[in-house]
Amino acid sequence: MNVSYIKEALLLIVMLLSSQVALAQDSLVSVLQQAAKQKLVVLEYREVKHIIYLQDPIEVSGRMFLAGERFVLEQLQPIRQLLAADKHRFRLYIPDKQLRYSKMMTSPQVQKTMHLFRPLMSGDVKALKAVFETQFLVKADHSWLLRLTPKDIKHSKFSTIRIRGRQGQPAHSAVLEMRNGSTSEWFFTLMPESKGKQEMMEKLLAESKG
């Protein structure tokens, strides 16, 4: 498994943590504070990858679960994959290939990227601005935009991350711009409340562990 896949997983956490309701009077501080308090978020997602040197885009879709420091991405199309993380370890499981991959959170490769995203998990705006150039806008049409640009651009795979939503609604889309010219567009749909969400997440976490 390429380390870049782990970095993409961390960016998904960023998106999920930015998926709370943003009101017109909200600031970046209040948005991050709300995000850090979320107990469980479940989204359906669709990703469209525009990879440099490839003529046609690649599309994948599935579900994402986030509860505290635990995260699960279940890719359903084109092939099923599970990517899970907690405060100790990352895990990748591809059932069709019976492939499993695991990496400690204390790995230097993981830590190199984690320092970018811990401020989003904790709601620490000061720490966030230490690693990202940030821009948070609420527009006249009641939409909001969170734009993140890594300050250490030479050592980042991504040049810009843009997350968008509408007033009173969760984030509905995000765009990741890569340094190599590729882009990745994400579209989100918040799944309705149900009693089985937590149980579903626990089942997927157990499956990822084997």
Beta pairing class for 132-138 and 99-104: unpaired
- The two counts, helices (H) then strands (E), for the chain are 5, 11
CATH (domain of 130): 2.50.20.10
Selection from 85-94, 166-175, 184-193, 197-206 with the highest mean pLDDT: 197-206
Question: For residue 38, what pLDDT is reported?
Answer: 60
CA distance 92 to 69: 17
- Compute the C-alpha angle 25/27/150, nearest 5°: 150
Question: For residue 210, what pLDDT is reported?
Answer: 84
Q: Does 1 score more than 50 pLDDT?
A: no
Count structural domains, the chain.
Answer: 1
Question: For residue 30, what pLDDT is reported?
Answer: 59
Q: Does 24 score more than 60 pLDDT?
A: no
Q: Which of 42, 95, 96 is nearest to 71 (CA)?
A: 42
| Length reported for the chain | 210
Tokens 């527009």 sit at which residue?
139
Domain that holds residue 82: 3-209
Query: Cβ neighbours of residue 3 under 8 Å, at least 6 residues apart?
Result: 109
Kindly report the number of other CB atoms within 10 A of residue 163's CB atom: 25
Higher pLDDT, 108 or 83: 83
**Each residue of 68-105: b (16+ CB within 10 Å) or e?**
eeebbbbbeeeeebbbbbeeebbbbbbeeeeeeeebee
- The mean pLDDT of 81-98, rounded to a whole number, is 85
Q: Per-residue confidence at 163, pLDDT binned at 50, 70, 90?
A: confident
